[in-house]
Amino acid sequence: MRFLCDVHISIQLCKRLSEAGHDCQHVNRLPERWHTSDQDIARFADQEDRILITKDSDFRDTCILHSTPRKLIKVNLGNIPHQVLSDLLFKNLGELARLNERPRFLVEVDIARVSVIELV
């Protein structure tokens, strides 16, 4: 799978996904780095068919209202150790792979559950 980690997502998560064989980029590696606008981040994720991983609720809103980014993992965990988020995502990679075959989806990650919101 192809991922794009937003600025508040640990680079360590990006490295772990890459080490597991996924194509993962971090916003800090884009030309504008952490100054990249949300609109440009969403556009890049859509053009590259990447799943955007973010803590930013603005992306959730634009995903639902404007269909961009098309594939989104919205993390609702605040400032937790990157290992906790990493373990939650890796535990659900099978489901993410199935979802990734769809043109659009939204996944919300909480400490107690991972919720899938199917979008058409």
As a whole number of angstroms, the distance between CA 105 and CA 118 comes to 5
pLDDT for 81: 83
Q: What percent of the chain has pLDDT over 70?
A: 100
Q: How many CB atoms lie within 10 A of CB 23?
A: 13
**Domains identified in the chain, total number:** 1
- Helix 82-91 and helix 11-19, axial crossing angle in degrees, nearest 10: 40
Name the DSSP letter for residue 17: H
- Give pLDDT tens digits for 51-82: 999 999 999 999 999 999 999 999 998 778 88
pTM for this structure? 0.94
Full domain range(s) for residue 108: 2-118
pLDDT for 117: 86
